[in-house]
């Protein structure tokens, strides 16, 4: 994988990190409380939902990360603590305070995340129980349990880790994520937690996270709905002992490529686990006039309910694809646009110069029967490309979300 190696692991793969996942009773049966802890204070960067309606923990964390330092993240699933007013914010603060007390660290260094049902206050007695159990259960192997405890409607845990060298010193990045529904470009309800033992400046860490989020989590869509709780947090504790990574250096580029892989990998796992999904869809926009044109065209296509349902129905309805590009706001010439469909069994052009072309409908359907589908949109206008990730929209999506609270 170029300058890095993909390894089996997660947030406890980097040196100096512990984690745990426990059952606190917020959910009926499954694990619902996670803790990620750095043995020393770490540099931190984060990216949050752009939804105007922000959950209490998001508002709290936006303030806490301003100094660029943190040491622990506590996460509950089963309850989003969103749209819960003053009490919700107080509960988020109390969660941080309680965790800090048990960990014997400053409350300002504890970040809080929640995911689940909106509009219901947290059961703070269960939160307190979860914190106590999570602290007692912290271990170097706890990343896998933490990955399970943050899930809601997800069908599998999402974990990834990579290692690479900075000036001959081994550095590791690990991550876990959750997300299955309420996923739309511009942070998508998804949560992602990344840890690294890299010695890196706060400015470099912040830039690397922001730029990789733009090309990963912001390029996925399951259902077009943006959560109130979307959060991506990275902690860098410097325990690898490498020479400090600064912005604009070759070492920064090595770190950036590794982090970009981690975030894209987690983003793809979220897209593949879309609620009711039967297919994974990758939208490649090629030869756009600008990078922004490529990005917004890819986002609009992967986010289109009509494109998603066509993929589910294995229907090579390219008209829905070019229509999505047309309303995306991208600057392009329809009469120069070609569209292809691709899977492991082959590729077929279904649109040429923005219009009808005779193609083998049976072969197109065979391509679309596969689980992994690529939609290729060649704008034939410039040199910029972008990739967005998503899934089809099935009958089961309606079933899952029609009874989400029950």
**Residue 300 and residue 362 in one domain:** yes
- Can you tell me the distance from the alpha carbon of 8 to that of 14, in angstroms, rounded to the nearest whole number? 12
- Can you tell me the distance from the alpha carbon of 209 to that of 161, in angstroms, rounded to the nearest whole number? 16
Q: Which residue, among 48, 386, 388, has the nearest Cα to 219 in the 3D structure?
A: 388
Q: Which domain holds residue 330?
A: 280-402
Strands 191-196 and 231-236, by their bridges, are: parallel
**Residue 12 and residue 154 in one domain:** yes
**Residue 49 and residue 142 in one domain:** yes
Tokens of 83: 């749209």
Across 347-366, b (16+ Cβ under 10 Å) vs e yields ebebbbebeeeebeeeebee
Catalytic residue among 95, 153, 189, 231: 189
**Residue 335 and residue 212 in one domain:** no
Domain stop point among 207, 241, 272: 272
**Residue 288 and residue 206 in one domain:** no
Give the pLDDT of residue 217. 87
Q: Is the pLDDT of residue 125 over 90?
A: yes
**Residue 198 and residue 289 in one domain:** no
| Domain CATH number, residue 398 | 3.10.20.340
Domain stop point among 272, 300, 332: 272
301 three-class SS: helix
- Can you tell me the distance from the alpha carbon of 276 to that of 265, in angstroms, rounded to the nearest whole number? 20
What is the number of domains present in the chain?
Answer: 2
- Can you tell me the distance from the alpha carbon of 146 to that of 138, in angstroms, rounded to the nearest whole number? 10
Query: How does the average pLDDT of the chain come out, rounded?
Result: 92
**Residue 17, strand partner residues:** 38
**Residue 178 and residue 87 in one domain:** yes
**Residue 247 and residue 372 in one domain:** no
Tens of pLDDT along 144-202?
A: 999 999 998 788 899 999 999 999 999 999 999 997 654 454 544 579 999 999 999 99
Sign of CA dihedral 13, 19, 23, 27: negative
**Residue 265 and residue 286 in one domain:** no
Domain stop point among 215, 250, 272: 272
237 three-class SS: coil
Helix (H) / strand (E) containing 28: none
- Specify whether the CB–CB gap between 328 and 299 falls below 8 A: yes
Give, rounded to a whole angstrom, the gap between the first and last alpha carbons of the chain: 44
**Residue 83 and residue 149 in one domain:** yes
Q: How far is CA 275 from the centre of its chain?
A: 15
* pLDDT tier at 395, thresholds 50, 70, 90: confident
Q: Which residue, among 313, 290, 310, has the nearest Cα to 301 in the 3D structure?
A: 310
Residue 228 is a catalytic residue: no
**Residue 151 and residue 218 in one domain:** yes
* Total Cβ atoms within 10 A of residue 214: 16
**Residue 227 and residue 343 in one domain:** no
Give the pLDDT of residue 18. 98
Give the pLDDT of residue 193. 97
| Domain CATH number, residue 244 | 3.60.70.12
């Amino acid at each position: 994988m170029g300058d890095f190696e993909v390894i089996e692991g997660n947030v406890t793969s980097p040196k100096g990190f512990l984690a745990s996942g426990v059952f606190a009773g917020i959910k009926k049966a499954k694990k619902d409380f996670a803790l990620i802890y750095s043995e020393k204070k770490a540099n931190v960067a984060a990216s949050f939902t752009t939804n105007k309606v922000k959950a209490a923990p998001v508002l709290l964390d936006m303030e806490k990360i301003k100094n660029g330092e943190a040491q622990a993240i506590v996460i509950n699933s089963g309850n989003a603590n969103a749209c819960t007013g003053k009490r919700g914010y107080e509960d988020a603060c109390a969660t941080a305070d309680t965790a800090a007390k048990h960990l014997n660290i400053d409350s300002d260094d504890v970040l809080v995340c929640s995911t689940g049902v909106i509009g219901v206050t947290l059961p703070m007695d269960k939160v307190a129980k979860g914190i106590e159990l999570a602290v007692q259960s912290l271990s170097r192997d706890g990343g896998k349990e933490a990955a399970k405890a943050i899930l809601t409607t997800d069908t599998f845990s999402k974990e990834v880790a990579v290692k690479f060298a900075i000036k001959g010193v081994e550095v590791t990045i690990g991550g876990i994520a959750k997300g299955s529904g309420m996923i739309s470009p511009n942070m998508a309800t998804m949560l992602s937690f990344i840890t690294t033992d890299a010695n890196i400046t706060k400015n470099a860490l912040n830039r690397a996270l922001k730029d990789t989020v733009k090309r990963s989590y912001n390029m996925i869509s399951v259902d077009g709905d943006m959560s109130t709780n979307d959060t991506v947090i990275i902690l860098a504790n410097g325990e690898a002992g490498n020479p400090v990574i600064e912005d604009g250096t070759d070492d920064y580029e090595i770190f950036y490529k590794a982090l970009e892989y981690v975030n894209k990998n987690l983003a793809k796992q979220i897209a593949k686990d879309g609620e009711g999904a039967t297919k994974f869809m990758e939208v490649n926009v090629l030869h756009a006039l600008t990078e922004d044109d490529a990005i917004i065209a890819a986002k609009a296509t992967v986010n289109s309910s009509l494109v998603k349902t066509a993929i589910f129905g294995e229907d090579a309805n390219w008209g829905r694809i070019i229509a999505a590009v047309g309303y995306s706001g991208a600057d392009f010439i329809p009469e120069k646009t070609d569209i292809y469909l691709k899977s492991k069994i082959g590729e077929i052009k279904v649109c040429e110069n923005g219009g009808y072309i005779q193609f083998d409908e049976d072969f197109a359907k065979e391509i679309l029967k596969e689980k992994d589908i690529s939609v290729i949109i060649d704008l034939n206008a410039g040199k910029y490309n972008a990739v967005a990730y998503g899934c089809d929209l099935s009958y089961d999506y309606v079933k899952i979300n029609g009874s989400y609270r029950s």
